[in-house]
Amino acid sequence: MSVTSVQIVDKERYLSQIEKLVHSHTLRKAESLCKLLRYLAEHELSQPGTSLKEYQIATEVFGRPDDFDPQADSAVRVQAGRLRLKLLDYYSHEGAADNIVVEVPNGSYALTFHDRELVTHPAVPTHPAVPTHPAPVPPIVHTEAAADQVINLNTGRSWTLTVVVLSFGLALALTAIVVLVTALNAAKTQKASGGTASPAIRAFWSPFVANAAAPWVIFSNAAFVGRPETGMRYLDRTRDSHPLIMDHYTGVGEVLAVHELDEVFNRLNHSIRVKRGSLFSLDDANENDLIFVGSPAENLTLLDLPGTREFVFTRPTFEPHKGELAIRNVHPEPGQPPLFYPSDSSQPLEEDYAIVALVHGLNPARHVMILAGITTIGTQAAVEYVCEQGSVEELTQKLSPQGEMKPFEALLRVKVTRGVPVGTQLVAIRHLE
């Protein structure tokens, strides 16, 4: 039975299912998605038949300002898409046996609830097979005793047929149950052994899944001065004295990058912990593996940790790129330039560069992965590069065909179209040990 905004049968049951989803392994660490899920459920159950607008969700759930423009900001659509994927993942694994299914239909923000229907089986024929030799027909005897005898004979055959049919149906049901249980156990076994992650993905991320503790993903959120409505710029401590600092903004590339990492670690049957750079402390670095998303220009904590040595973010002091962020090639090989720049800042971004590096942390027993572009789009491309099977296979073959990951630094060239990374090329690679 489907329950929509028109028909609410048991509100408590559905709210209980929402809480089960929120506290599930699939969703419990996705705070923003849990907030969105609760909001959509409460609206659907308390105001059936009332449609939700993107603007309403943006301002009431995600704290967007009153001048929020859905055409310019796709945050709600992105989060709704992520929630759909998480719900599908939950009901494919953890919630495979749940009685209630929660969905967010495509093109809508109206949550729906479905009572999961029982598995049906093909109808069993109710007529017995035609015998090869016709059964003898008793003679017609016009007496009450003979009539009773015929009635008893027919009644006995009817009960026999009923018992046969029910036995056959029970056998089919038992067979279906065995098949279903076997399939569920196989799915659990597959997930426990690494899900659908390829050998290359497992080898590349092995330093971060070998430790039982989930690695920290530290995404950049630079310090800004100014206000969104009047204009913002990066904080410059040499000229900004005690300003009002805005440190709760980050790029779209970092947002999508964290989502990509969450997906790949789900396939590895491992979890991640996420923290913005301004809240990260050096105490966290001693006993944890770290994955930095974003360049040191914004992820300032990277400046206090062991970082890259071969490909380094820098700001040239000479024209025509004075003050612009670039990547310095410390030891250029023949034919390689000493500096790599993205597209000119006065033009639409068509080319960017990014760094992928694996280095030792403050504690040599811990690992640090640096995934950073010159721009936020380059950062997104760097993370996608190490989360996709084909590109990871290319990288691991050049790094360690035997599968043992050792420290390295790699430089990527990123082709960009309309603000989206559409192609990534491995430019150079350095082995650090």
pLDDT tens digit sequence for 228-264: 777 888 777 777 776 777 777 888 899 999 999 999 9
> 351 near 343, Cβ under 8 Å?
yes
- Is the pLDDT assigned to residue 352 strictly greater than 90? yes
**Is the bond preceding residue 364 a cis peptide, omega within 30 degrees?**
no
Average pLDDT, the chain: 79
pLDDT tens digit sequence for 394-409: 898 888 766 678 899 9
Tell me which H or E stretch contains 216: strand 216-219
- Model confidence, pTM: 0.55
Q: How far is it, in rounded angstroms, from Cα 326 to Cα 337?
A: 12
Average pLDDT over residues 321-334: 90
pLDDT at 128: 47
Q: What angle do CA 222, 239, 293 make, to 5 degrees?
A: 15
pLDDT tens digit sequence for 96-112: 899 999 998 887 888 88
What radius of gyration do the chain's Cα atoms show? 31
pLDDT at 215: 93
Q: Is 404 exposed, middle or buried (0-12, 13-18, 19+ CB in 10 A)?
A: exposed
